[in-house]
Amino acid sequence: MQSLHIVHRDLKPLNVLIDADGHLVITDFGLSGVDAALRDQHGLFISSKEEEIYYENVGTDGYKAPEVYQGGYTYAADMWSLGVIIFEMFWGKPYFSDDFNAEQEIQDNLRLLRDITSCVEPEALELVIGLLQLDPLRRCTSIKQIKKNRFFRDIDWRSLEKKLTKGPVIPPPAQPVGTWKEALTLPGPPLILMTRWHCSAKW
């Protein structure tokens, strides 16, 4: 998405699916934004060093970056969401609670993050902390830099991008989903041929 200048603005586990080969697929671009200045008259992307700044408070609480609540954010907001997702994958629970209070809980959880180093590899913690920086300018926003993180040292990115390797988890084949109800296929009461006498007798 970064190479296409797309800001998703609603990254969360529910919007990340696994395809038949075990590769991740990002879905639900209904809230995403694309920098219009980076497209020519034919709709093709052209290079630019400027980033689109967004002000709409959209997305899902618990995954939105702090600056989204304040207004005025860029692609760095997606990287914060990525950090929250990775945290949830490592620790097996959401980073924030359901009754999410942006300012207070973000501060509390960032302090907590540094106290749970025994739960995961140091490289994984380094990755998450780099993505969950309160200041967007200090946050890790470079995909190249993320790929170089020591946690991914065994990943062959070229093969992965070309889908030459299968993912670690292969979902079972999808089963056909029926659109009928069994109750509707059961025999009903016998039909009675109505005659004029039956009709007149009821009246």
Q: Is 99 a catalytic residue?
A: no
What DSSP string runs through 134-148? SSTTTS---HHHHHT
């709409």: which residue's tokens?
56
Work out the mean pLDDT of the chain and round it to a whole number: 78
Please count the structural domains in the chain.
1
Residue 51 placed within a domain: yes
* pTM of the predicted protein model: 0.73
Return d(Cα 5, Cα 34) in angstroms, integer. Answer: 6
Residue 199 placed within a domain: no
| pLDDT of residue 195 exceeding 70 | no
How do residues 32-84 score in pLDDT, each as one tens digit? 887 655 555 555 545 555 678 899 999 998 899 989 988 889 999 999 999 98
Confidence class for position 16, pLDDT limits 50, 70, 90: very high
Q: Supply the CATH number for residue 96's domain.
A: 1.10.510.10
Domain that holds residue 113: 6-171
Mean pLDDT of 139-151: 90
| pLDDT of residue 96 exceeding 90 | no
Confidence class for position 100, pLDDT limits 50, 70, 90: low
More confident residue, 49 or 181: 181
Return d(Cα 68, Cα 8) in angstroms, integer. Answer: 13
Residue 179 placed within a domain: no
Return d(Cα 197, Cα 202) in angstroms, integer. Answer: 9
Residue 39 placed within a domain: yes
Residue 108 placed within a domain: yes
């809980």: which residue's tokens?
105
Rg for the chain (alpha carbons), in Å? Answer: 26
User: Pick the catalytic residue: 10, 35, 99, 154?
Assistant: 10
Residue 202 placed within a domain: no
What pLDDT shows up at residue 66? Answer: 87
Residue 158 placed within a domain: yes
Residue 190 placed within a domain: no
Quick one: how far is CA 22 from the chain centroid?
16
How do residues 104-120 score in pLDDT, each as one tens digit? 666 666 656 665 555 67
